[in-house]
Copies of this chain bind each other. A is one copy, B any other.
Amino acid sequence: MNVIFGVDVGGTNIKFGKFKLNGPDYLVEKFLVETAVDKFGGNSVDMICDQIYDEVTKHLNGDNLIGVGVGIPGPVVNGVVLGAQNIKWGVVDLKVELRKRFGNVDIEVLNDANAATLGEWYFGAGEKLENAILITLGTGVGGGIIVNNHLIEGATGSCGEIGHIKIFPYNGRKCSCGLEGCLEQYASATGIVKTAKIQMIERGMPVDDELTCKEIFDRAKDGDDFYLEVVDKSAYFLATGLASICNTLNPNVIMIGGGVSKSGDFFTARVRKIFREMAFFSVKDTKIVVATLANDAGIYGNFAKVKLELND
């Protein structure tokens, strides 16, 4: 059987998916390994490439490998990694490194958020609509953009850094990127918790230092007014950012992923309602849906990249 591996490299783990070329059940097997760490605490390019080669080879089980797609946590343009802080890489022409090991199979390299976007678009909530955007709400806010059925990377691989859209022109919350008022500070899990804590202080309540985003959503779902207000404020902040994106790019669909989206349509329905009030009239009907692939979006996307290249 011909197979393609989708590989999602992170600072802690490397996730692998073994896929066959025809669906609907493309995924044959998935597994993960700890990301190799060298003795200085860094991850050298050679170590990770060896690891990918070894694991893929080990899981081939007599199948015929025709391609490997790899996602990296850093900017990538046309397959070249421009740097990846989490795994301490500088500029790496990863295709060349992987071809040294894999020889003559198709090798593709994407940024991890872009890979997740491609995966959600092709196999998940995006329904392969012509223009689609993924926004992931986790510890931070990330995303990726599909235009005319193609993933776009931008001039320096930074397309889709929508967590750093400035939604407050003045007096915004300080962001870890050094800027202020970034969407990430309001719509990430961390940001939503901050909104709740500020609201506690404003109401003269003791601040619950242990508060989690999940707790906020759970209590809001139970009908607690205080937490419902936090959720609605957060939906308002997110809708502000999404409206700006849609007024610029006019996509068919926005897919919301990441930990925050686990609350299902509870949050997304609120975002959708406020979005309609904030978006330019001609983009009001943009679909806003919950992403469906969760942590598998990356492996699916790296598989999709190889599959799409082979079909071209």
A residues near B, CB below 8 A? 75, 129-131, 145, 147-148, 150, 152-162, 164-169, 177-179, 236-237, 240, 243-245, 247-252, 278, 280-283, 285-286
- Docked complex Cα distance between A130 and B159 (Å): 13
Decide: A167 and B169 in contact? CB cutoff 8 A.
Answer: yes
Q: Oligomeric state, in number of copies? A: 2
**A155 and B131 in contact (CB under 8 A), knowing A165-B244, A248-B165?**
yes
A180: shortest Cβ distance to chain B, in Å? 9
- Docked complex Cα distance between A169 and B170 (Å): 10
Query: Dominant SS at the A interface?
Result: loop
Decide: B248 and A155 in contact? CB cutoff 8 A.
Answer: no
Decide: A159 and B250 in contact? CB cutoff 8 A.
Answer: yes
A sample of 5 cross-chain residue pairs with beta-carbon separation below 8 angstroms, ordered by A number, consists of A158-B283, A159-B250, A165-B248, A169-B240, A179-B278
Decide: B281 and A178 in contact? CB cutoff 8 A.
Answer: yes
**A280 and B248 in contact (CB under 8 A), knowing A152-B147, A155-B286?**
no
Decide: A248 and B282 in contact? CB cutoff 8 A.
Answer: no
Decide: A247 and B165 in contact? CB cutoff 8 A.
Answer: yes
Known pairs A75-B282, A154-B250 / 12 extra A-B pairs, C-beta < 8 Å: A131-B155, A154-B283, A155-B251, A155-B283, A157-B282, A158-B280, A160-B248, A165-B244, A166-B243, A167-B169, A169-B237, A178-B281
Point out the residue from B158, B240, B249, B251 that lies within 8 Å of A250, measured CB to CB: B158
A249: shortest Cβ distance to chain B, in Å? 6
Decide: B243 and A161 in contact? CB cutoff 8 A.
Answer: no
- Docked complex Cα distance between A161 and B283 (Å): 10
Decide: B130 and A177 in contact? CB cutoff 8 A.
Answer: no
Point out the residue from B160, B162, B248 that lies within 8 Å of A159, measured CB to CB: B248
In the complex, chain B residues whose CB is within 8 Å of the CB of A243 = 165-166
Residue of B nearest to A161 (CB): B247
A236: shortest Cβ distance to chain B, in Å? 7
Decide: A161 and B282 in contact? CB cutoff 8 A.
Answer: yes
The listed residue with most B CB atoms (<10 A of its CB), out of A145, A159, A178, A247, is A247
Residue of B nearest to A277 (CB): B179
Residue of B nearest to A286 (CB): B155
Residue of B nearest to A282 (CB): B158
A252: shortest Cβ distance to chain B, in Å? 4
Decide: A240 and B166 in contact? CB cutoff 8 A.
Answer: yes
A114: shortest Cβ distance to chain B, in Å? 11
In the complex, chain B residues whose CB is within 8 Å of the CB of A166 = 167, 240, 243-244, 278
A224: shortest Cβ distance to chain B, in Å? 24
- Docked complex Cα distance between A185 and B147 (Å): 28
In the complex, chain B residues whose CB is within 8 Å of the CB of A148 = 150, 152
Decide: B169 and A249 in contact? CB cutoff 8 A.
Answer: no
Decide: B158 and A131 in contact? CB cutoff 8 A.
Answer: no
Decide: A250 and B157 in contact? CB cutoff 8 A.
Answer: yes
In the complex, chain B residues whose CB is within 8 Å of the CB of A251 = 154-155
